């Protein structure tokens, strides 16, 4: 029998209510809802009894037995779920209970329709690039982790900047003092990277992004590099300012002076289930409530007409001349065959 894992932000009453409804809809449709033990315990504390017909992950079934996961919450809940199932090729579909919810596929009001589509397998699976993150010092790997959105080097103390050198593919780009550096995926381009002034990159674009945060420098522009590149940030030792590495805002590592942080494309992507084919541009407009008043759109193919008149052609009476300074007397801008004026 098909099994679907239900993740819920159990710290919110709305999420617990949505989890109960989701489990009931799945069971009614003939599938087995699965929950983590801690989520089941949170439901018991909230409503006084366990969710009926639910199996417990790792007790009653393994991750490999589950078809997909439904995440009830915001983008943070999706990131948390992705961390829990990273070892398994388990696609996730997010139902937004938060604010922006860029990683979510549906809103709370669409919960019943979402469950119905999942039961009917009316979804596609999209692979999102993740990054591998390593922290080095004196050729020793201090830590290794990963991220779906970004790895962010940040100053540890509010009153002191960190001094860094940014690097791409083994070559230094610039050094400056700053509040930090964000190294992001296209998925993360609408998260921390966006807030730091980075570009919005469409999810299907294969690229990596590096964005300095409040850099004290004339050249500290966001960089978009090849997905096969190695991005690095080196912490300089000329100050003792502390720094910390955050990955997806969930995993943190203290960075000693002289540490080196390397980011590369991960071989293991995160799989997201998609229920519709809404273009990313439309999602961008909807999530950020962008103004599009006045847009007319492209002309329809059956209404397009070829030009009725040809473009004018430069005649033989005109000729080009070499560029010159305005203070050079007697040289016209365009020669037409006549003598230059005195």
Binding residues for NAD(+): 75-76, 80, 149-150, 160, 179, 190-195
Helix/strand/coil (H, E, C) string of the chain?
Answer: CCEEEEEECCCCHHHHHHHHHHHHHHHHCCCEEEECHHHHHHHHHHHCCCCCCCEEECCCECHHHCCEEEEEECHHHHHHHHHHCCCCCCCEEEEECCCCCCCCCEEHHHHHHHHHHHHCCCCEEEEECCEEEEEEECCEEEEEEEECCEEEEEECCCCCCEEEEEEECCEEEEEEEECEEEEECCHHHHCHHHHCCCCCCCCCCCCEEEEEECCECCCCCCEEECCCCCEEEEECCCCCCCEEEEECCCEEEEECCCCEEEEEECCCCEEEEECCCCCHHHHHHHHHCCCCCCCCCCCCHHHCCCCCCCCCCCCCCCECCCCCCCCCCCCCCCECCCCCCC
Is 248 among the catalytic positions?
no
Query: Residues comprising the binding site?
Result: 75-76, 80, 149-150, 160, 179, 190-195
Residue from 39, 59, 60, 75 carrying the catalytic annotation? 75
User: Active-site positions?
Assistant: 75
């Amino acid at each position: 029998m098909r099994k679907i894992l239900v993740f819920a932000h159990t710290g919110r009453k709305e999420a617990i209510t949505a989890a109960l409804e989701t489990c009931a809809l799945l069971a009614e449709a003939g599938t087995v809802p699965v929950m983590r033990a801690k989520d089941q315990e949170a439901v018991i504390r909230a409503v006084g009894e366990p969710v009926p017909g639910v199996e417990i992950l790792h007790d009653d079934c393994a991750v490999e037995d589950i078809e997909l996961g439904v995440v009830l919450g915001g983008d943070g809940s999706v990131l948390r779920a992705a961390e829990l199932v990273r070892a398994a090729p388990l696609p996730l579909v997010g139902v937004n209970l938060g604010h922006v919810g860029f990683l979510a596929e549906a809103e709370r009001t669409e919960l019943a329709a979402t469950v119905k589509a999942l039961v009917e397998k009316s979804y596609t699976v999209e692979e999102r690039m993740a990054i591998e993150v390593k922290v080095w010092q004196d050729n020793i790997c201090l830590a290794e982790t990963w991220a779906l959105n970004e790895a962010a080097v940040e100053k540890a103390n509010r009153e002191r900047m960190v001094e860094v050198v940014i690097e791409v593919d083994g070559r230094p780009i610039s050094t400056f003092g700053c509040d930090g550096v964000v190294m992001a995926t296209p998925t993360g381009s609408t998260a921390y990277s966006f807030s730091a002034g980075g570009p919005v990159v469409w999810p299907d674009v294969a690229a990596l992004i590096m964005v300095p945060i409040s850099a004290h420098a004339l050249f500290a522009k966001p960089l978009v590099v090849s997905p096969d590149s190695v991005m690095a940030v080196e912490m300089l030792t000329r100050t003792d300012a502390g720094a910390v590495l955050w990955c997806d805002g969930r995993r943190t590592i203290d960075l000693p002076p002289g540490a080196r942080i390397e980011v590369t494309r991960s071989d293991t992507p995160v799989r997201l289930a998609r229920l519709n084919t809404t273009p990313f541009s439309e999602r961008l407009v909807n999530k950020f409530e962008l103004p599009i008043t006045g847009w007319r759109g492209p002309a329809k193919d059956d209404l397009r007409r070829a030009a009725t008149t040809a473009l004018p052609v430069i005649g033989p009476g005109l000729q080009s001349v070499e560029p010159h300074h305005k203070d050079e007397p007697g040289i016209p801008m365009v020669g037409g065959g006549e003598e230059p004026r005195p």
